[in-house]
Amino acid sequence: MLINFNNLEINKLHPQTEFENKVIFFIKEWLSSAETVKVQTSGSTGVPKVFEIEKQKMLNSAKMTCDFLNLKQGDSALICLPVEYISGKMMVVRAFQRKLNLNIKNPSITPLEDLSEETGFCAMTPLQVENSLDKIHFIRNLIIGGAAVSESLKNKLCQTLKSSNSQTKIYETYGMSETLSHIALKEIFPKQNEYFTVLDGVEISVDDRNCLKILAPKLNSELLQTNDLVEIFNGHQFKYLGRIDNVINSGGAKIFPEQLESLVKKEIPNEAVFLGIPDDILGQKLVLVIEGFQDEEVKSQISNLKFKKSFHKPKETIFVKKIPRTPNGKVNRKELLNLISGI
């Protein structure tokens, strides 16, 4: 289904699928006289909850993104994210704010499988992108969120798009439900930037733990304190180091698992997660969990990796059939820790 937001006639839309029904239901909710809409969080950093957001703040967020990507009235966009969450809702609001033509695709892991024409803008999860590499060149502006983009996926995107001479621009996003999707973007193709750049109207700082603080009055009236460790550059850019609650304390040394995971994923295609498991001597023992069947070649690759510090090398490598994830695709570290504790 294609919805023309430049000439929206909601009563003339005839949904054929359950997802199209959900999108149209949200559009009707959006067009109602209510000043707020309900949004469900993913539960990736806590208990899932439902809260209300002002429509005007969602419009502010939509304008910030559309301006950053230079989207224009009449451009095409594609929604393939669940509309229960802020990620899907914001795709609809961006189409409404900028009067885009919105193509509705079921939010499966292969949402682009029947795409055959250029699309101006799309938001996807890393898993969706991983399963859509042969069609990514049809997207002019792609933002990827919901989970970190692995080095392996970045390499695949680069190889795929360079061979197709694509004009595609791809950005990794940083944000949360409370910031109405993302507040910062980092280009990963054709350039590979190291830092996220915040959108206009967003101010950033850090607390005494070096965790990011976000002031974005157009999106949220409160100063948002995160548990994300960052390095700030030039006042409006930052490098993400990892979540402070994921930090592993092994023998007194603080280890940032996300940084080690980025290193490992440059060498192996498997999903890889570093965890700290209880240890009588070290406090926490560093282990590496790899998704897939036991593979001696992969273990050898890990063994030969040049880690910056000796204590960055995992004390043990564990293979699991499937790494548990939250509904929006993020690794569920707590559940994974429980899983390997029973191995």
Q: What pTM, to 2 d.p., does this model score?
A: 0.82
Question: What's the pLDDT tens digit per position in 149-179?
Answer: 888 889 899 999 988 878 999 999 999 888 8
**184 neighbors 199 (Cβ within 8 angstroms):** yes
- Give the class (CATH, top level) of 247-341: alpha beta
CA angle (128 as vertex; 123, 133 as ends), nearest 5: 100
Pure H helices in 148-294: 151-163, 257-264
Pure H helices in the chain: 18-31, 55-68, 86-98, 126-130, 151-163, 257-264, 296-303, 333-341
**289 neighbors 299 (Cβ within 8 angstroms):** no
- 2-199: CATH number: 3.40.50.12780
Question: What's the pLDDT tens digit per position in 224-257?
Answer: 999 999 999 999 999 999 999 899 999 989 899 9
Domain extents in the chain: 2-199, 247-341
- DSSP labels for 60-96? HHHHHHHHHTT--TT-EEEE-S-TTBHHHHHHHHHHH
Q: Please give the pLDDT value at position 46.
A: 53
Query: pLDDT class for 63, splitting at 50, 70, 90?
Result: very high
Q: Exposed/middle/buried for 275, CB within 10 Å: 0-12, 13-18, 19+?
A: buried
Q: Please give the pLDDT value at position 47.
A: 58
3-state secondary structure of 32: coil
Of 5, 143, 6, give the one whose Cα is nearest residue 61.
Answer: 143
Question: What's the pLDDT tens digit per position in 2-50?
Answer: 999 999 988 888 889 999 999 999 999 999 999 999 887 665 555 567 8
> How many helices (H) and strands (E) in the chain?
8, 19
